[in-house]
Structure 1
Amino acid sequence: MHKPELLGGGSLEQFAMVDVWLEVEAHQHHPAAGAIVMQCLITPLIGGERDQAVIDENADKLRAMFEIYEARLSRSKYLAGDFVSAADLSHFPLMRYYATMVEALPHVRAWCEDLAARPAARKVAELMPLDFWLSKKDEQ
């Protein structure tokens, strides 16, 4: 179903904010989150050993990024404003794996919970592996 409102709430400023946060997801969030997924899920599936240094480096990047998200989400319910957009939804598939990283960030945590409660997000989550560990110490 085509939902043009996911690209912005109608004003040029709202469209621009959606675009900004889509760029943040594509060029900042996704590379760091994707590197962790690669090391924790994909590499073991193909018989490789995960590289903890890569995981740690990218987890640090995500933690710093989530502080920026916390500041933004303290001013609006969603990344681009007070409306859910493609910018928010583009984060969801990987964000569910980082719940423990945002526990101390009330606005990011609320944002994640809000997105996870959406019917479409629940359908996506059903298709994804339940969990993986960010670090060896978490396995103990």
Structure 2
Amino acid sequence: MIGSLQLVARIGGCGVLFDAERVDSVVEVGAVVPAPGAAAAVIGLAAMRSRVATVLDVRTLLGVARCPEEKRREGGRAVATIVDGHLYAIAVDSLEDVSTFQLGAAPAGLDTAGEWDFVTGIGEGQQETLLALDVDRLVARASALT
């Protein structure tokens, strides 16, 4: 089995994997401007390389506490990706490494038709199991979160 290159990150204490081919860049997000009326997971908008990015907090989707409000407005580290021609910055607590992983199937409890359809598999980290995330599904789910 051939492994795939993955970016290892932490979101709310949860270890996650982003397919390196879908990562546009990793960035430090500056000030975030609120977006009234947006989905609950949308922190707001931020300028990134002369473009506007929608900044997402996906912690609730992963079953961990939302980022504190004051930290949400300050920005921080994020994984930038493009979905349907739009730039998104997925807020992360930390970025750890880029490494090759052989991904296994997602656990049976995380069915592909349910609320966790953005988890496409798992990878074994040094001391934990990491969730492989599908950025298209993750962005779609975060954008629809009320």
TM-score under structure 1 length normalisation? 0.24
Larger Rg: 1
Q: Which has the higher strand share?
A: 2
Q: Which has the higher helix share?
A: 1
